[in-house]
C-alpha cells in the first residue's frame, strides 16, 4: 500500500473529528501523522512489517499511531475510521468536496443549521441562512452554492484521450506565446495513465503575469479557482481542474520530474539523493544550499547514477533498477506499428466501407489490416451470420485485389457465448484469416464460467487472439472476474495472442496485465477497434498501455513485417 494511501486514512480521520468538533490537539495529531507518513522516503509498509518499534522511531509517530498504521497496511481498513464514517452522515462527508469549505465549516453547517445533505445545504443557502451564520457571510454562501454544482464532478477521473487533447491544446497555445520558453504537461497525463483526475502544466516564461492572463482567458477555461503570481488553478469546461505553474528556467527539469511523479517513483529517487548527501525537490538538486542541477530532467537523474526514464515507466516497478545498470527498455513507438488487426465497416456498426478503411490505413503507413466485423450475437450492431459473413469476405477479396500496398485479412470479431460456445460454427471460422474471440455478454458470470468460456476460446483451433479480454469500460463497466495466470498459461501453451484494445474507454488489457502476459511470452497485438477512418488514430492510446508495460518492439506482434506476421499466423 503506497504511503499516500495510508496517509489518506489519517487525513480522513482528522476531517471527520474536526466536523464533530473534537479536541484540536487530537485533530492535529492525525494531520501530522498523515504528513509524516506521506513524506517518508521509504515505503511505510516495509517499516510496518518490522513491527511497532520501527515506526515509533519516526518523529511524530507514537505507539497508538504505529499500531493503527500496521492495521491499515495489513488489512486495508481501520475500525476507528469506519466508526467515524457511521457517525457522520454521508451527505455531510460529501460537503468536504466543496472547494474552499474545510471540515470546520462543514461541522458548523451540520451542527448549527442541521444540514445533512447537499440538497439541505443548497436550500439553506437559497434561504439566506448560511450567510446569516457567524463566520460565513454572503460571499461564502455564494461560493458554497457554486461549489455544490461542481461536487458531482469532484473526484471524477477523465479518460486519457480527453485529458491529452485538452493538455495538448493548452500547451500548444502557451508555446505559441513569445514570452514562453518551455511548456509541458506533467502528472498522470504525462505518465499516460488510463485516466486523470486533473492536469498539471509547467511553464518557463519572462512574464508570469501574462501567462496567468492567457490561461484565465483561454476558451477551455470555465472558472479561475485560485490565482497567484506564478500559479493558478482553473476549472475547465469539461469539469476537469488544472494547475498551471510558472517556474524559473533553472528549476524547470526538477519541477517537471517532481510534478510528473509518480509519488512512489519520487520517494525512491529522493532517497537516492539523500544517500548521496543531496536534497531533491521541485526547485532542484541541492548540495547544501548550492543548486547542482535542475535545468533538465537528465541533469537531475545523472548525479543520482540514473539514466533519464521515460515518463510512462515512472511507477517504481523496476525502472529505477534498470536505469541504474543502463538496461532501460527501448519502448515500442507508433512508427513501429505495421498493422491494425481490429476494425469495423458498414457491414455491421462501422461508418466506412472496406475500401475506405483500407485506404485510410494505407495513408497512415500501415502494411496490413484485418476487417473484423461483429458476429451475429451482437444484434444491436447488426452482427453477421454465416451467409452474410461469407458474402462480406468476398468483398474483402475483391478489395485486396484492387488496392495495392496493403494486405487485407478476412477477419471476424466472434463472440464467446455465455454457454462457452463460439457464436459461429467451426466450418465458418476455418475460412477466416483472423479470428478475434471476445466477451460481450454475461460479464457478471462467476469466475468459473468466465474462465470456462475464455479457455475454450484460447484452445479453439481457429481462434487467433482474445480481444479486449476483461470486457471493461473504464469508469462505466466493471471487468469480468478473470484468473489471469490461468488464462495466460493456456494462451502461452496454445499460441493464442492477447490484444491491447486501444479505444480509450477500454485500454484492455491494462498495463498491469500486459506486464504479466509479456512474462508468459505471449505476443501482444495493439489494435484500434476503429469504427471509422479517424478511429485508426486511436493507436496512440494502445501504445501508451504497451509503453507503461515496458513493451519493446519485439513484444508486439503487429510490429512485424507482413512476411513475418504471416509466419506467426
Domain assignments of the chain as residue spans, ordered by start: 3-153, 158-246, 251-324, 334-568
Preceding omega of 262 cis (within 30 degrees of 0): yes
Share of the chain above pLDDT 90, in %: 78
Among 132-136, 210-214, 436-440, the range scoring the smallest mean pLDDT is 132-136
3-153: what CATH class? mainly alpha
Q: What is the pLDDT of residue 32?
A: 85
Query: Does the pLDDT value for residue 428 go beyond 90?
Result: yes
Confidence band for 152, pLDDT divided at 50, 70 and 90: low
Q: What is the pLDDT of residue 225?
A: 92
Q: What is the pLDDT of residue 551?
A: 98
Beta bridge partners of 234: 224, 242
248's enclosing H/E stretch is: none
**159-208 tens-digit pLDDT:** 999 999 999 999 999 999 999 999 999 999 999 999 999 999 999 999 99
**220-269 tens-digit pLDDT:** 998 899 999 999 999 998 888 999 999 999 999 999 999 999 999 999 99
**3-state SS class at 423:** coil
Say which DSSP state 479 is in.
P
* Residue in 512, 157, 500 with CA at minimum distance from that of residue 315: 512
Q: What is the pLDDT of residue 145?
A: 87
Question: Which runs of consecutive H residues, i.e. helices, occur in 118-207?
Answer: 118-126, 137-150, 160-175, 187-190
Q: What is the pLDDT of residue 2?
A: 65
Cell of 294: 535542475
**259-292 tens-digit pLDDT:** 999 999 999 999 999 999 999 999 999 999 999 9
Query: Does the pLDDT value for residue 39 go beyond 80?
Result: no
Query: Does the pLDDT value for residue 153 go beyond 60?
Result: no
Q: What is the CATH number of domain 251-324?
A: 3.30.210.10
Q: What is the pLDDT of residue 40?
A: 73
Domain spanning 334-568: CATH superfamily: Metal-dependent hydrolases (3.20.20.140)
Q: What is the pLDDT of residue 96?
A: 86
Name the region of 413 (left: φ>0; alpha: ψ -120 to 50; beta: rest): beta
Q: What is the pLDDT of residue 545?
A: 98
Q: What is the pLDDT of residue 361?
A: 97
Q: Determine the average pLDDT of the residues in 361-387.
A: 95
The answer to whether 278 and 297 have CB atoms below 8 angstroms apart is: no
Q: How many other β-carbons are positioned within 10 Å of the β-carbon of residue 137?
A: 13
Query: Does the pLDDT value for residue 43 go beyond 90?
Result: no
**293-338 tens-digit pLDDT:** 999 999 999 999 999 999 999 999 999 999 999 999 999 999 999 9
| Residue 91 buriedness (CB in 10 A; 0-12 / 13-18 / 19+) | middle
Q: What is the pLDDT of residue 155?
A: 57
- Strongest mean pLDDT among 92-96, 443-447, 449-453: 449-453
Confidence band for 488, pLDDT divided at 50, 70 and 90: very high
Topology given in CATH for the domain delimited by 158-246: Beta Polymerase; domain 2 (3.30.460)
CA distance 543 to 549: 10
Name the region of 249 (left: φ>0; alpha: ψ -120 to 50; beta: rest): alpha
Q: Determine the average pLDDT of the residues in 116-127.
A: 91
CA 39 to chain centre: 23
Among 70-74, 178-182, 487-491, the range scoring the smallest mean pLDDT is 70-74
* Percent composition of the chain: helix, strand, coil (DSSP 3-state, to 5): 50, 15, 35
Mean pLDDT of the chain: 93
Q: How many other β-carbons are positioned within 10 Å of the β-carbon of residue 335?
A: 9
CA distance 545 to 396: 31
Q: What is the pLDDT of residue 553?
A: 98
Equal fold, 3-153 vs 334-568: no
**77-95 tens-digit pLDDT:** 889 999 999 999 988 988 8
CA 139 to chain centre: 37
Query: Does the pLDDT value for residue 76 go beyond 80?
Result: no
- Side-chain-facing half-sphere of 532: CA atoms under 13 Å: 2
Describe the crossing of helices 3-19 and 63-75 by its angle, rounded to 10 degrees: 120
Among 136-140, 302-306, 353-357, the range scoring the smallest mean pLDDT is 136-140
DSSP 81-99: HHHHHHHS-HHHHHGGGST
CA distance 286 to 293: 7
- What number of residues does the chain have? 569
Identify which has the larger pLDDT, 16 or 73: 16
Amino acid at each position: 500500500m503506497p504511503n499516500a494511501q495510508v496517509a489518506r486514512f489519517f487525513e480522513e480521520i482528522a476531517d471527520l473529528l474536526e466536523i464533530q468538533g473534537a479536541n484540536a490537539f487530537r485533530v492535529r495529531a492525525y494531520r501530522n501523522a498523515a504528513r509524516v507518513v506521506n513524506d517518508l522516503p521509504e515505503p511505510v509498509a516495509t517499516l510496518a512489517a518490522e513491527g511497532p518499534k520501527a515506526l515509533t522511531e519516526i518523529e511524530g509517530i507514537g505507539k497508538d499511531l504505529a499500531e493503527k498504521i500496521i492495521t491499515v497496511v495489513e488489512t486495508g481498513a481501520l475500525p476507528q475510521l469506519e466508526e467515524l464514517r457511521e457517525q457522520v452522515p454521508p451527505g455531510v462527508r460529501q460537503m468536504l468536496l466543496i472547494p474552499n469549505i474545510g471540515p470546520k465549516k462543514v461541522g458548523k453547517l451540520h451542527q448549527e443549521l442541521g444540514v445533512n445533505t447537499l440538497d439541505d445545504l443548497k436550500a439553506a443557502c437559497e434561504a439566506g441562512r448560511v450567510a446569516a451564520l457567524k463566520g460565513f457571510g454572503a460571499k461564502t454562501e455564494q461560493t458554497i452554492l457554486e461549489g455544490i454544482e461542481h461536487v458531482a464532478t469532484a473526484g471524477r477521473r477523465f479518460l486519457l484521450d480527453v485529458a491529452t487533447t485538452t493538455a495538448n491544446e493548452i500547451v500548444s497555445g502557451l508555446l505559441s506565446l513569445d514570452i514562453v520558453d518551455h511548456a509541458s504537461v506533467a502528472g498522470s497525463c504525462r505518465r499516460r495513465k488510463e485516466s486523470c483526475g486533473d492536469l498539471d502544466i509547467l511553464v518557463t516564461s519572462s512574464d508570469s503575469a501574462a501567462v496567468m492572463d492567457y490561461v484565465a482567458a483561454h476558451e477551455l477555461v470555465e472558472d479561475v479557482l485560485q490565482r497567484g503570481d506564478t500559479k493558478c488553478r482553473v476549472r475547465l469546461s469539461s469539469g476537469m481542474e488544472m494547475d498551471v505553474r510558472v517556474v524559473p528556467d533553472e528549476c524547470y527539469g526538477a519541477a517537471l520530474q517532481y510534478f510528473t511523479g509518480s509519488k512512489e517513483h519520487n520517494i525512491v529517487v529522493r532517497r537516492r539523493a539523500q544517500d548521496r548527501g543531496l536534497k531533491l525537490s521541485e526547485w532542484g538538486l541541492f548540495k547544501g544550499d548550492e543548486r547542482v542541477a535542475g535545468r533538465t530532467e537528465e541533469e537531475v537523474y545523472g548525479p543520482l547514477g540514473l539514466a533519464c526514464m521515460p515518463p510512462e515507466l515512472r511507477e517504481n516497478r523496476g525502472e529505477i533498477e534498470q536505469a541504474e545498470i543502463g538496461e532501460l527498455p527501448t519502448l515500442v513507438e507508433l512508427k513501429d506499428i505495421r498493422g491494425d488487426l481490429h476494425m469495423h465497416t458498414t457491414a455491421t456498426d462501422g461508418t466506412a466501407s472496406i475500401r475506405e478503411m483500407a485506404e485510410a490505413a494505407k495513408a497512415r503507413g500501415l502494411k496490413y489490416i484485418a476487417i473484423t466485423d461483429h458476429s451475429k450475437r451482437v444484434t444491436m450492431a447488426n452482427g453477421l451470420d454465416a451467409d452474410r459473413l461469407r458474402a462480406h469476405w468476398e468483398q474483402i477479396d475483391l478489395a485486396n485485389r484492387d488496392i495495392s500496398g496493403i494486405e487485407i485479412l478476412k477477419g471476424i470479431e466472434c463472440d464467446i457465448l455465455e454457454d462457452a460456445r463460439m457464436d459461429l460454427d467451426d466450418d465458418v471460422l476455418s475460412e477466416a484469416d483472423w479470428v478475434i474471440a471476445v466477451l460481450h455478454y454475461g460479464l457478471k458470470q462467476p469466475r468459473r464460467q468466465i474462465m470456462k468460456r475464455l479457455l475454450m476460446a484460447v484452445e479453439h483451433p481457429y481462434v487467433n487472439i482474445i480481444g479486449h479480454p476483461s470486457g471493461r469500460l473504464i469508469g462505466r463497466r466493471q471487468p469480468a472476474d478473470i484468473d489471469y495466470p490461468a488464462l495466460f498459461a493456456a494462451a502461452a501453451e496454445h499460441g493464442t495472442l492477447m490484444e491491447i484494445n486501444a479505444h480509450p474507454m477500454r485500454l484492455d488489457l491494462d498495463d498491469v496485465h500486459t506486464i504479466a502476459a509479456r512474462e508468459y511470452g505471449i505476443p501482444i497485438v495493439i489494435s484500434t477497434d476503429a469504427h471509422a477512418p479517424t478511429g485508426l488514430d486511436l493507436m496512440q492510446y494502445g501504445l501508451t498501455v504497451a509503453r507503461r508495460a515496458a513493451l519493446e518492439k519485439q513484444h508486439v506482434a503487429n510490429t512485424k513485417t507482413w512476411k513475418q506476421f504471416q509466419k506467426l499466423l
